Amino acid sequence: MKRYSVVIWIGLLFWGLTGCSDFLEEESNGIAYATNCKALDELLVGSGYMEHKVVNSMESTLDPKGKKGSVYFPWLLVMDDDAEGFLAGDFSATSPYTKLYGYYTWQAEPNNVESVLYTDQNWSRLYEHIGVANVVLDKVEEFTHDTESARNAIRGQAHFIRATDYYFLVNFYAKAYDPITAASDLGVPIKTTPYVVDENYVRDPVASVYNLIVDDLKKAIHYLDGYEPTTKRRATKAAAQVFLSRVYCYMGQWDSVPALCNAVLSNNLKYSLKDLKKVYPMVSTSKDTSWMDTNSPEVIFTQGSNSINGVFALMKSSSGSEKKSMAAFRISDDLVNTFKKRTNEATGEKDCRPDVFFKTDAFHCYYLPRKTKATAEGAKNQEYQFVSDVFTLRVSEAYLNLAEAYAMTDQEGLARETLGKLMEMRIQNLQPITESGEALVKLIREERRRELCFEGHRWFDLRRYAVSPKYPELKSLRHKTYDYSYAGNSAPGIYNGYYLLPEYPDGGWVFKIPTDEIKQTEGAIVDNNREDCMFYGN
């Protein structure tokens, strides 16, 4: 569908905080009028939900800037401890390693390529989606000639979309939710009206942003009751329930999680785990990735792009015995080792997920993610089957959120039972789970890392664990860097040292606010402090 093709009252491509800025302000691009809920529904699909785009392994460029038409947040895949860079051959200005280097090394100004700064448009792009949701929520109240169920479907989707976008904004541009300081920590500006306010907006507290997210998701759950879309790219009641359970885990409000997760898990005819023990023996002869596409019973909802095959790119043969130069990312040894912890020859326990989740670069034997297909080219509608690597809700997250909530509220038997249901579908000859207390919470966190790797969770989880009111966990991160060897296409890069991101909140755990937004509000929006990380040479 062509974006903005719907006939509707809208001048919301950019929304400004002040009467003359570009952010959160209506820009006059023509006035039209919607006549029914169908038009609003098409607007949500075309401009409210995150755009669907797939980057293939054969593409050598990524656009991390966040502008329209580009993938969403590819750098989210390389900032944590699950990714590591690798080089081969000569320098390439368009390689994933070059494009995402500022984020990979946690620079104070990560929005640069080859030290040339560019404008971070992720902020404005997310607020554009919010602007669409605000207009739709206002406009839908006029269509009393439509059925109440049709209006509720629009209301529920718009509330869900707005919650999604504020979730990303507050987790990119503000500190993690700390129950002690959330009421005073600076979050992001809140705007829920469709009209322009002639004033300088300020950053609302983190607690206020989260309260809006919770309120929106509660409304989404209410309005989406009975709404059954035919695609997993539309919000549903179950999607809102799982997402709200995640938000409650972030807030440390674990008592509110079980009812939400159990409501989804009880619907086992619609959503269910795939037994990966039955999948991994076939990996050598077939690519069974159907458990991680829109046809999978594990997937509840997905929106946004998939850039995993572009970020974690394979070395490829070019002509004859030569090999193409490549500078990209691979799975870190640290993550690989966490999977090895679940394999024990003495007991016969074996974690089957690496055989299904990973693939190997044939030239350097690096592990690369393979949760989705290797390419979207070829088969009809294959691109549409790809799920997002930054926002996908799966039934396994419901198990993990529920297990975390039980463990954190001292219901350890239920926590072990819940976690076991997930692990039994992933691990051969699973041994009894006997951990308790902090050890049980640590196991649940490790399982969350293993199960949800490269789905946009790990960076946010590391931040929230650091401020958890129970069993806080602080971790510094280390990313190795390399120089080009210039010794032929297949020659590996030369290790030259590493960058160290100190424990939260020091260093680069929070992004700076885009400079244009600070200028346009005459300094009313206060920037974040973000420092370059230390480099330690070889």
- How many domains does the chain contain in total? 1
59-98 burial: b if 16+ Cβ within 10 Å, else e: ebebebebeeebbbbbbbbbbbbbbbbbbbbeebeebbbb
Structure tokens at 415: 């926590």
pLDDT at 244: 99
Lowest mean pLDDT among 4-13, 45-54, 189-198: 4-13
Is 362 inside any structural domain? yes
Q: Tens of pLDDT along 521-537?
A: 888 999 999 999 999 99
Domain that holds residue 342: 37-537
pLDDT at 45: 95
| pLDDT bracket for residue 281 (50, 70, 90) | low
Q: Is the pLDDT score of 213 beyond 80?
A: yes
Rounded to 5, what percent of the chain is helix, strand, coil? 35, 10, 50
pLDDT at 162: 98
d(CA 194, CA 9) in angstroms, rounded, equals 11
Is 472 inside any structural domain? yes
What percentage of the chain reaches a pLDDT higher than 70? 86
Q: Tens of pLDDT along 381-418?
A: 677 889 999 999 999 999 999 999 999 999 999 999 99
pLDDT at 72: 96
Any residues with CB less than 8 A from the CB of 273 and at least 6 apart, and which? 298, 395, 396, 399, 421, 422, 425
Is 13 inside any structural domain? no
Which pairs count as long-range contacts for 441-446, CB under 8 Å and 24+ apart, including other chains? Answer: 441/404, 441/407, 441/408, 441/470, 441/471, 442/471, 442/473, 443/419, 444/400, 444/403, 444/404, 444/407, 444/415, 444/419, 445/404, 445/473, 446/338, 446/341
Is 185 inside any structural domain? yes
Mean pLDDT calculated for residue range 502-508: 96
| pLDDT bracket for residue 189 (50, 70, 90) | very high
Q: Is the pLDDT score of 80 beyond 80?
A: yes
pLDDT at 198: 73
Is 415 inside any structural domain? yes
pLDDT at 325: 64
| pLDDT bracket for residue 269 (50, 70, 90) | confident
d(CA 281, CA 8) in angstroms, rounded, equals 53
pLDDT at 17: 38
Mean pLDDT calculated for residue range 41-64: 86
Is 8 inside any structural domain? no
* Residues across the chain: 538
Q: Is-contact 64 41, C-beta < 8 A?
A: no
Mean pLDDT calculated for residue range 496-518: 96
d(CA 361, CA 57) in angstroms, rounded, equals 12
Is 20 inside any structural domain? no
pLDDT at 242: 98
Q: Is the pLDDT score of 500 beyond 70?
A: yes
pLDDT at 284: 45
pLDDT at 314: 76
Read off the CATH number of the domain in which 190 is found: 1.25.40.390
pLDDT at 94: 86
Q: Is-contact 48 129, C-beta < 8 A?
A: yes
From the centroid of its chain, how far is CA 366?
24
Is 28 inside any structural domain? no
